Copies of this chain bind each other. A is one copy, B any other.
Amino acid sequence: MRALEEKICKEGKVYPGNVLKVGSFLNHQIDVPFMQLMGEEFHKLFQNEKITKVLTIETSGIPIACMVAQAFGVPVLFAKKNQTKNLSDDCYCTEIHSYTHGNDYQARIERQYLTAEDSVLVIDDFLANGAALVGLMDLIQQAGATCVGCGIAIEKAFQDGGKKLRDSGVRIESLARIASMDPETGIQFVQE
């Protein structure tokens, strides 16, 4: 998605340690009309699939997931990272390693909201090591639901999450795929 690549180049900031900050539009401040364009792009990509639910994980995937769900006319379900009073004990649960925060956490969804009848599109803002997506697909599998694929805003294609998931047969559609990035030389995208 050319508009996303341009926005990343214009507004994104690269820091040492492969950190890309896109807080101006994607994961702190949210450019809602732009999220809507991304939602429509994912709708085009997956329009031939039967989708009953959009699954994401808190927090930054939620705005995009809402726009995708709006385009498909289906609900969003987001996995929660913390056990709270508002979440029942009757959950599917998976453990995910966060490379960003350097810890492991539990991601949970209540069983009643994901069933064997569901055909699920997974949405997230970033794909790097793929740990979050693997966790979300584990939750889908526990529910006996079907995963039709994953829609990602920004894939760090120089990390191996996307390759491993595609090799295992998962359909991954990333709107921008970064081949390399560096605070000095900037961002290069994968030429497709």
Please tell me how many copies of the chain the complex holds: 2
A63 to B56, CA, bound (A): 12
Are the CB atoms of A75 and B30 closer together than 8 Å? yes
Among A83-91, A139-147, A161-169, the one that faces the other chain is A83-91
Contact with B along A11-38 (1 / 0, CB 8 A): 0000001010101110111111101100
Q: A42: CB under 8 A from chain B? A: no
Query: B113 to A29, Cβ gap below 8 A?
Result: yes
For residue A25, which residues in chain B have a CB less than 8 angstroms away from its CB? 75
Interface residues of A (CB under 8 A from B): 17, 19, 21, 23-25, 27-33, 35-36, 58-59, 62-63, 66-67, 69-70, 73-78, 80, 82, 84-88, 100-101, 109-110, 113
Identify which of B30, B59, B74 contacts A66 (C-beta below 8 A): B30
Task: Give the top 10 A-B pairs by smallest Cβ distance, nearest first.
Answer: A30-B76, A58-B59, A32-B69, A29-B113, A29-B77, A62-B62, A63-B66, A59-B59, A32-B70, A29-B75
CB-CB under 8 A from A76, the residues of chain B are 29-30, 32, 63
Residues on B with C-beta less than 8 A from A59 are 58-59, 62, 78, 80
Q: With the chains together, A149 CA to B166 CA distance in Å?
A: 47
